[in-house]
Amino acid sequence: MRLTAEPAFVLHTRPWRETSLLVEVLSAGHGRLGIVARGVQGPKRHVLRAALQPLQSIRFDAVQRGELARLVSAEALDAAPRLGGDAMLAAFYLNELTLRLTPRDDPQPELYEAYAYARERLRHGDSLAWTLRRYERDLLDALGVGLDWAQDAHGPVDPAARYRLDPEQGPQRVLSDRGRGDRSHAATGRALIALASDTAPTPDDLVSLRRPMREVLAHHLGPRGLRSWELIGEMARVGRESRPPEP
């Protein structure tokens, strides 16, 4: 199969043999693809190498035979977002999550659009937490394992209650305060309703979504977690250790 002028976003690039690269992309028409870019490590191929960096938007031609495609040509469609600090880590997380959960050769145009939107939010410095929660929701929906965020087994989610997220059954109300530990790690009903309606929740409600969403994603990832989660944990630990003692 020949792919011509196919738009895509670069998710990951690594060396392949001596002079080549193995590039994972999320393409508009064919989903995630693995592409071998041969002979791109030479001194005259720096423009092509730059176009194949993670987060770059490209248009490419390739020939696919079997699991991997062979790159014929590629060009950058814009300048990739220039990110640093937490935003760069968020971009790494988006790419790693997409790479780990999406199957190859499975067209997912809705996910492509969701990734494009998240990428632009990173570029413009929008709320990282809300950008990530929205993309997690859209990724689960695209994979066919999304939840009904505003409904539990008994009806509409109560905005005043708290909920854990069952990966198969959706929101489940935390009834007892056996106590407060379970509730403090559960999402607020207000946050779930906001997620369902694509309306940014308050900062406190937004924070409540992080752990329940991670538990759902961990279920689908299996026993091996994400490197980006490890990095986030390491950075948080370093921050606590470097904090001056309270007076």
Sign of the alpha-carbon dihedral angle for 144, 146, 152, 157: negative
Assigned superfamily of 85-242: Recombination protein O, C-terminal domain (1.20.1440.120)
Considering the chain, tell me which residue range(s) the CATH 2.40.50.140 domain(s) occupy: 2-76
Could you tell me the maximum CA-CA distance found in the chain, to the nearest angstrom? 67
What are the backbone angles phi and psi of residue 229, rounded to the nearest 5°? -65, -40
3-state SS record for 126-190: CCHHHHHHHHHHHHHHHCCCCCCCCEECCEECCCCCEEEEECCCEEEECCCCCCHHHHHCCEEHH
The answer to whether 158 touches 189, Cβ cutoff 8 Å, is yes
60 beta partners = 6, 74
**pLDDT, tens digit (0-9, with 9 covering 90-100), for 99-152:** 999 999 999 999 999 999 999 999 999 999 999 999 999 999 999 999 999 999
Considering the chain, tell me which residue range(s) the CATH 1.20.1440.120 domain(s) occupy: 85-242
**Separation of alpha carbons 176 and 63, rounded Å:** 58
Pick the CATH number of 2-76 from 3.30.930.10, 1.10.10.10, 2.60.120.650, 2.40.50.140: 2.40.50.140
Q: What is the pLDDT of residue 146?
A: 97
Q: What is the pLDDT of residue 66?
A: 86
The residue with tokens 């859209």 is 138
